[in-house]
Structure 1
Amino acid sequence: MLRLLPKRLPFSQSLVSPRVLLRSNFSTSFIRLNENKQTSEPKPYTEPTQPRKPLSRIPIGGVNTESQRIKDSNIEFASWKAAVLMIVTGGVLYYFFTREKKRIQVQQDAESNRGYGRPLVGGPFSLTDENGEKFTEANLKGKFSILYFGFTHCPDICPDELDKLGVWLDQLKKEGYELQPVFITCDPARDTPEVIKEYLSDFHKDIKGLTGTYQEVKDCCKQFRVYFSTPEDVKPGQDYLVDHSIFFYLMDSDGEFVDALGRNYDNETGPLRIKEQIDAFVPKAEREKQKKKEASSWW
């Protein structure tokens, strides 16, 4: 059999020195390095075909100021609404508390004016109206009434006060308040029902006129603490002076006195005071019931 032996290199070629090998390897590496350098040279700069996106103005580690601005504006708007709501709520509460406080004060004033036991102002009386009909304290019940004491021969004060009363009545009626106005004479000798009826025709149509005998008028004036200076025995045609108190006496729907309005009340403050009393009114039955309840709870 024939055996194939590896081909042997010539002796001259097999004996290569290490220096030759090193040189050969270095040359090959150098050539490869040059090729890489040629292939890795930078390409010339060309303009981008698409525009660049703008750089963000948000600093590194910062926040988006636009979103922060929107957030701040929302907070400011919410704070503004809360402040307005607080002001409106406070105003409403202040109004109602003030109104309630005023109402309680008016009730207390009216209660003190009514007095305890025997009334301080007001009481039973019996007179005759301008139509000749009997008129007593019972006719004052069922609605608020306002009484004025005067006389038909009064030169200036009585006409002025009755004119002012007419303005009050019209103003109150516009606002839905019903009031019974009553004129009571302090001069029964001259002020007969016929004279009073003619005299009141120059004033508000709702005003009723009352008169009576000297004693009846005197007793009525005494009940209402009205100053009465008219002489008793007066001859026909005799001149004399009549003096009286200048007040409007406000009576509640139970026929009890609640307030006196003097000449200091004008066309604005007069109706306002009357409305306060009507709005704050508590019927006598409820007042008595409340007093009993408070007394029982106390003991």
Structure 2
Amino acid sequence: MGAIRTLRASPAIRNELKALEVSSRRAFSTQRPAVLGRIAWKKGGQSLRVVQENGLGSRGVTSGMQKPMGQTRLFSRSAPRWKLKTMEQIKARNRVGPLNLTAAVLFVATAAGLYAYFTNEKERMARHRIAQQTKGIGKPKVGGRFNLIDQDGNTFTSDDMSGRYALVYFGFTHCPDICPDELDKMALMYDKVVEKTGRVILPIMITCDPARDTPAVLKEYLAEFHPDIIGLTGSYENVKDTCKAYRVYFSTPPEVKPGQDYLVDHSIYFYLMDPEGDFVEAIGRNFTADAAAKVITDHIKDWEGPLKMQKKKDRWA
């Protein structure tokens, strides 16, 4: 045992160990082995040991009272994952991450767009179903051919509505309250529809009292509501046939004397007719002007065929 201690403590052996240490450090600086080694000894050469380390890096060779004999050398120059990052790096990572503010906004916008699309499509299909159900097979359910006279004394037939939508109302000029209210609403409806779609709709009032509602009376009366409203009258038989075609009920008191004032009982609806003369929808008193204008506008926008524009000078062109 004394010989071994002497051999370990000899200057030659110590020199060899130092040379081995320098060689090991040079090798570790150029390549990264899977298992690293470190040579260490206690002061005075009392013991000699090789310490095994993992691949994270060497802490240098120590001698004596843990005095370092070399600088700590890491075998990777990149920052470790556990190292704290800057705020800019954290924000950059959040911007490209799967769950961030941009992704949330895009998700909400896409969901809202899909909801609006399917809601509008559902409403469009409901309007289309209503329009198809009211179309006549052979003979129309509501509407048909007629031959009347307008407020200027010109002939006006059902063919004059071809190519445009028409909003048809039945009333009479001596009506005390209901007809004026409905004609005021018709004027508002018409203006709102024209604003959205152009002049592709004809507002028409057909009298149920041809005995008193002459063209001149209609012209003066309708001018108080809107200049574009068309007033139609004619013989009693022509008006009766027109009301029958539109399924409109009306009646006058029996045995009316000339010059006697009387009221006419009649149906109170607006009849929306499409450019082919087919009935689309009936608009009752429960509709406000805004709601009715929206219904009419939506039906017009659903129309896929051509539409004629009403002109100022020649409304029938």
With normalisation by structure 2, the TM-score equals 0.66
Distance between the aligned counterparts of 2:280 and 2:215, measured in 1?
Answer: 28
1:185 to 203, 207, 216: 207
Asked if structure 2 preserves the Cα contact closer than 8 Å seen for 1:254 and 1:283, the reply is: no
**What are the within-5 Å matches in structure 2 for residues 158-173 of structure 1?**
158-173=179-194
1:64 is the counterpart of 2:83: yes
* Cα gap change, 1:233 to 1:218, in 2 (>3 Å): farther
SS at match of 1:97: helix
Distance between the aligned counterparts of 2:202 and 2:146, measured in 1?
Answer: 17
Distance between the aligned counterparts of 2:132 and 2:101, measured in 1?
Answer: 46
Shift of 1:234: 4.2
2:139 to 118, 143, 146: 118
Higher normalized strand content (fraction of residues) = 2
Match of 2:68 in 1: none
Instruction: Write the deviation string for residues 209-264 of structure 1: whole angstroms up to 9, x where unpaired.
Output: 00011111111001001111125764311333311111111111112110111111
* Cα gap change, 1:61 to 1:99, in 2 (>3 Å): closer
Match of 1:280 in 2: 302
Distance between the aligned counterparts of 2:232 and 2:255, measured in 1?
Answer: 20
Q: How many residues align?
A: 224
* Cα gap change, 1:276 to 1:104, in 2 (>3 Å): same
Aligned residue identity for 2:237? Q
With normalisation by structure 1, the TM-score equals 0.70
Asked if structure 1 preserves the Cα contact closer than 8 Å seen for 2:174 and 2:263, the reply is: no
Distance between the aligned counterparts of 1:230 and 1:171, measured in 2?
Answer: 34
* Cα gap change, 1:283 to 1:162, in 2 (>3 Å): same
1:73 is the counterpart of 2:91: yes
Asked if structure 2 preserves the Cα contact closer than 8 Å seen for 1:189 and 1:214, the reply is: yes
**What are the within-5 Å matches in structure 2 for residues 211-250 of structure 1?**
211-230=233-252, 234-250=256-272
Aligned residue identity for 2:102? K
**What are the within-5 Å matches in structure 2 for residues 1-299 of structure 1?**
63-67=82-86, 70-78=88-96, 79-178=100-199, 179-230=201-252, 234-283=256-305
Instruction: Write the deviation string for residues 107-141 of structure 1: whole angstroms up to 9, x where unpaired.
Output: 11111112333211001111111111111111111
Aligned residue identity for 2:166? S
Instruction: Write the deviation string for residues 158-204 of structure 1: whole angstroms up to 9, x where unpaired.
Output: 01111111111222222233221001000011111111111111110
Distance between the aligned counterparts of 1:192 and 1:118, measured in 2?
Answer: 30
Aligned residue identity for 1:264? N
Is the radius of gyration larger for structure 1 or structure 2?
A: 1
Higher normalized helix content (fraction of residues) = 1
SS at match of 1:175: helix
Instruction: Write the deviation string for residues 1-31 of structure 1: whole angstroms up to 9, x where unpaired.
Output: xxxxxxxxxxxxxxxxxxxxxxxxxxxxxxx
Distance between the aligned counterparts of 1:133 and 1:231, measured in 2?
Answer: 29
Q: Report sequence identity in percent.
A: 48
Asked if structure 2 preserves the Cα contact closer than 8 Å seen for 1:107 and 1:281, the reply is: no
Q: Which is further off, 73-82 or 213-222?
A: 73-82
Aligned residue identity for 1:163? D
Aligned residue identity for 2:83? N
The structure with higher relative contact order (CA 8 Å, sep 6+) is 1
Shift of 1:62: 6.0
Distance between the aligned counterparts of 1:222 and 1:282, measured in 2?
Answer: 30
* Cα gap change, 1:171 to 1:61, in 2 (>3 Å): closer
* Cα gap change, 1:76 to 1:62, in 2 (>3 Å): closer
Match of 1:25 in 2: none
Asked if structure 2 preserves the Cα contact closer than 8 Å seen for 1:147 and 1:183, the reply is: yes
Asked if structure 2 preserves the Cα contact closer than 8 Å seen for 1:128 and 1:210, the reply is: yes
* Cα gap change, 1:134 to 1:85, in 2 (>3 Å): same
RMSD: 2.1
Aligned residue identity for 2:92? N
Asked if structure 2 preserves the Cα contact closer than 8 Å seen for 1:128 and 1:134, the reply is: yes
* Cα gap change, 1:209 to 1:104, in 2 (>3 Å): same
